[in-house]
A and B are shown apart, each in its own frame.
Chain A
Amino acid sequence: MIAGVNRFLVPRFPAVNERARTVEAVAAGVSAAGASALARTARAGTGVAVDGLRVRFGAREVVHGVTVGFHAHRVTALIGPTGCGKTTVLRALNRLHDGRPGVHISGSVRIGDEEVYDPRADVRDLRRRIGMLFQRPNPFPLSIRENIALAARIHGLWSRQDAAERTEAILREVGLWEAVRDRLGQAPFLLSGGQQQLLCLARALAVEPDVLLLDEPTSSLDPGTTARIEELISALRDKMTIIIVTHNLQQARRVADEVCLLLDGEVVEQAPADRFFQAPADERSRAYVDGRVG
Chain B
Amino acid sequence: MRTSLRGARDAIFWTLCAGALLLVVAPALAIIGSLLQQAWPVLTLHLLTTTTAVDGLQNALLGTLVLCVGILVLAGPIGIAAGVYLAEFGPPARSSWLRLGSETLAGIPSIVVGYVAYLVLDEELHWGYSLLAGILALSAIVLPYIVKTTEVALRQVPTTLREGAAALGLPRHTTLRRVLLPPAIPGIASGLVVALAISVGETAPLLYTVGFSDNNPTPYLFQHPLGYLTYVVFLNATLPTRQEHQVAAAAGVMIVLILIVLIAAGRLIARRAARHAARMAN
Contact = CB atoms under 8 A, between A and B. Distances in A.
Contact of A203 (B168, B174, B178, B276): B168
B167 A96 contact: yes
B94 interface: no
Nearest to A132: B167
Interface stretch (A22-30, A38-46, A137-145, A239-247): A137-145
6 contacts: A128-B168, A140-B164, A141-B276, A151-B170, A154-B174, A189-B279
| Best-buried of A130, A150, A200 by chain B (most CB within 10 Å) | A150
Interface of B: 92, 158, 160-161, 163-171, 174, 178-179, 182-183, 276, 279-280, 282
Given A141-B183, A189-B280, A127 B168 contact: yes
Nearest to B162: A138
Interface of A: 94, 96, 101, 123-128, 130-132, 134, 136, 138, 140-142, 146, 150-151, 154-155, 187, 189-190, 193, 196, 200, 203-204, 207
Given A124-B170, A124-B171, A146-B178, 15 more contacts: A94-B167, A123-B169, A124-B169, A125-B169, A126-B169, A127-B169, A138-B158, A138-B160, A138-B161, A140-B165, A151-B170, A154-B171, A154-B174, A189-B280, A203-B168
B179 A140 contact: yes
Contacts of B171: 124, 154
B166 A140 contact: no
B179 A142 contact: yes
B188 to A, nearest CB: 14
Nearest to B179: A140
A270 B158 CA distance: 35
Contacts of B279: 187, 189-190
Contact of B169 (A128, A141, A196): A128
B174 A134 contact: no
A189 B168 contact: no
A141 B182 CA distance: 7
A126 B169 CA distance: 7
B4 to A, nearest CB: 50
B222 to A, nearest CB: 43
Nearest to B183: A141
Contacts of A204: 167-168
Taking chain B's interface residues, is the majority helix, strand, or loop, or is none over half, making it mixed? helix
A33 B165 CA distance: 43
A127 B168 CA distance: 6
Contacts, number: 71
Contacts of A138: 158, 160-161, 163-164
Most chain-A Cβ atoms within 10 A of its Cβ — which of B164, B166, B279, B280? Answer: B164
A213 to B, nearest CB: 8
Given A96-B167, A151-B169, A154-B170, A141 B179 contact: yes
Given A134-B160, A187-B279, A127 B167 contact: yes
A141 B280 contact: yes
Nearest to B279: A189
Contacts of B178: 140, 142, 146, 150
A134 B282 contact: no
A31 to B, nearest CB: 39
Contacts of A146: 178
B162 to A, nearest CB: 9
A270 B178 CA distance: 41
Contacts of B164: 132, 134, 138, 140, 200
B271 to A, nearest CB: 17
Nearest to B276: A141
Nearest to B93: A101
A152 B158 CA distance: 23
Contacts of A187: 279
B97 to A, nearest CB: 16
Given A140-B178, A142-B178, A131 B167 contact: yes
A140 B161 contact: yes
Contact of B166 (A96, A131, A193): A96
A186 B166 CA distance: 23
Contact of B92 (A101, A126, A134, A142): A101
A183 to B, nearest CB: 14
A123 B183 CA distance: 26
Nearest to B280: A189
Contacts of B166: 96, 127
A27 B92 CA distance: 51
